[in-house]
Structures are given as structure tokens and as C-alpha cells.
Structure 1
Amino acid sequence: MNDKTNELTIQLESFEGPLDLLLHLIKELKVDIFDIPMVEITNQYFHYLQTMQELRLDVAGDYLLMAATLLEIKSRMLLPKKDIEIEDDFYEEGEDPREELINQLLEYKRIQQAAKVLKEMENERGDFFTKLPADLDSYRQSIPLSPGEVSSEDLISAIQKMYQKLLRKKPLSARLNQEESSVDQTMIDILDKFEQLKKGKDVTIPFTDFYEVATRAHIVTTFLAMLELVREKKIYFIQDVTYGDILLKRLWEEADEDE
């Protein structure tokens, strides 16, 4: 068997099924998939099947079924229109005999494209290397806080206690239909409260003074506003005694201090 025959054998075995073979033939003939020339396609298809048999390659049943389908469509395309109508009512008047085959090819083409994208994603993922879990116990050592500093656990505990207190204090009717403020608006409200007390630059405001509405949305919004102001270095949390009340203190800019 010469090199050309070997090459043909590999090419024939590379098709995943009859639809794959048909798409290949359509591409080779450079024709529109919506206007398949059935005579040429059928002839080329049977040529491939004959070559497979000559090379003693197994021809699967789905290839033979497609061959029969192509012959039927080819014959209907060649018959005069009136003869098709008289023969049977399998095709409605004006229906293209190739329509079902075209739909199958389009669906198969979409599946091929999806498979190609998934394969590319798999290859890209293969370029990443995972790291085995590391022992982080050495990084979990507790760092002592300076006097007056507040830990994240203290803040969470303060919010939980304050929320439970508000729920007990406020009647249900007072907790309904409250108009919630945005984080940005709440940040402005917090700074305005400090502005009203600006004469005492070292003034502190209790953490709980900013929670007057017993709704989860209000509590979360106010807490996020406080954290954002801390990040922007406009306020900070202090705690005079361990497990005592958490206070907010304003960080004034130099221009503000001169006023």
C-alpha cells in the first residue's frame, strides 16, 4: 500500500460519522450548506464509501443509512415536481427535500463548534498549575491589640447585641415599610453627625447611636458605611476598656482643624 493510500485511510478513519463526512464534502465542494447540490454530494459520498470498502474498513450502519437518505433526496430532486406529488404525500407541497438533512447538518455543526470551544477551554485550563494545601497554623497566631484598638470580633459581637436589643425595643409595626438609605448616603449622615459636634474635636460617638432602625438592611448598610469611612481614614473605632462600648471618633483633616 503506497503513501497516498495510507493517507486516504487515515483521512477516512478520522470522520466521526456520516454528518461529519458530509460537512467535509460540502467544504471541499465550496458550496452553501443551504443549497446542497445533491448529485455531486451523493456521488462523492458513495465514492468515499466505496474506498472504505476497498480498504477493508468497516462501514458502520449509520453511514449506510445516510447513503439511503441521500439517494432518496437525490431522486426526489431529479423527479419532476408533479411526479413527486403523485407518488406520495410524505413531503408537503413546496417543501425542499433537503430541509431535514440541512437541519441535521446545522445542528451537528453547532455541536462541533461547542466541542471546539470546550476543548480550547480545557487546554487553557491545563496551563494552570494547582498548589497543594499548605499548613497555615503558624500564621494564625493572635497579635495583641494596642490599648483602645477594636478587633473584628468585637465589632461583630457589638452588632449582634445591638440588633437583638433593637428587636426587643421596637414594635413590629415600627420595623415595617422603612425607607432604607444607600451606603453613600449613610456615610454622609455619619459625617454630618460629627459636624454637628465639631466644636469638641476629640468627641466620640457611641457605636449604637447610629442604629435607630431595627431592620437588617439598615444595620448592614450602616456597618458598611462605617467600614468604608474607616478605609478612607475619616473615622476609626476605639474601645476605652476591654469588652466596653465601641466608640467612633472622627479623623479631621488639617484644613478642618484650623477652622
Structure 2
Amino acid sequence: MELVFRLPQFEGPLDLLLHLAKKRKINVRQIPISQLADEFIEYVERMKKLDLQIASDFFVMASQLMELKSKYLLPSLSDRERQQLKKLEEDIYRRIELYEQVKQLANRLEKDITSFLSRRKVRVTPVPYVQQEKLTKILKALLEEMNIRNSALKLKRLPITVDQVMNEIVTELTNGSELEVYEILKKSSSKYELIVRFLAILELIHFRKVELVSRDGTLLVRGYEAFEPQSNG
């Protein structure tokens, strides 16, 4: 009988670090970086032995963790070197905490979407009704494509809001044009933004600011002439 070994799948190095921290059921800052480094590298090595495709981000993080650990093992460190190490250590802890917050928010938003769609039927033209599966299929496809990785979270910029996306969409539709739902969502730079954009489309449909049109298997949005973009002032 052939033995098949499976490893958990992680969206990126921060997802793996969060998993390693949470399995101890203690605050991540109570776990020495050296322990996280050892377990992280052990997991990457297991992936290599199983000939699994490994994203470059995992190797970058492994290198950073090993460098940090090796410097702590030096017999003596100057005050400046110790401060630099503490800063690097703090950066890793903070990135793990930030990733956890974003992941929790994304999960809550996904539940909101499911609840929203279960309560409403979306009117479209010329198709009488679009089933929930057609909209969620687009969202899930993009979620599967998107990997949330350390700095790729792009959280340095201010988080985008549903209202901002609603105005953005309507502004693009003022000349009577149509936009593909897929293309609107594809602009997202993070899982959080993807879900915000999805909710914005649903809100515009619910308040009859835009309508959905199904053409040749493609889901489009087009605006109602009576609606004008809101001012940000």
C-alpha cells in the first residue's frame, strides 16, 4: 500500500508563522524567535523533501529568521547591534499580529457576504435572476488566485472602504459604459480589498444604483442614469 504524506497548505510565510504560534495557544510574543525559526525551517525542509512547489517568499522569510537567530548566538553584541536585532524581532512579531487581524477581518467579511446573499435576490437584465452561485464563483476564483504574503499585504496605505469603491464604480459608469464584475474585483491588492469591492457591488445593486447584465456568460454592471456619485466632502 502506497503511503501518501500531506502537509497543511499555507497562503504564505506569515500564515505558517501564525499557525506555529497559535498551536501553542499562547501570545506570539511569548515564543522565542529562535523556536519559530527552527520550526519554520523544518516545515520548509519537509516541503522540499516532498518535492512541493515552494514560493520564494518562504525562502526569504527562512533566511531572515536564520540570520536573526544566528546573530543572537554570537558571543557578544554591541548595544547598537542588540537594538537592531530587537527592531527586526519586533517587525516579525508585528507582521504576524497584523496578518492575524487581517485574516480575521477577511473571514468576518466572507461570512457577511454569505449572510447578505442568503437574504437578498439580485435582479438582473435580461436574465430574470442571477443565482447566488454565479456571484460567489467569481469571488472564490479570485480568492484562490490571491496569496496574502508579508509585505504584499500592502497595508501601508489607508484601507479602502465600501463607500469609496461604490463611488469609484459609479464614476466609471457615468458615460453609460459597462464594467465586468471580474475586472472590478481583480483590481484588489489584498483579500480584504477584494471582499470590500465585492460588498460595494452588492450594495450598489441592492440600492438600485447599478444593475447586473449577463452577456455571453460574462457578468457586467451598468449604472442607472438617475444616480450621481457622492461627493467625498
Q: TM-score, normalised to structure 2's length?
A: 0.47
Higher CA-based Rg? 1
Q: Looking at both structures, which has the greater relative contact order when contacts are Cα pairs under 8 Å and sequence separation is at least 6?
A: 2
Taking structure 1 as the reference length, the TM-score comes to 0.42
Q: Which has the higher strand share?
A: 2
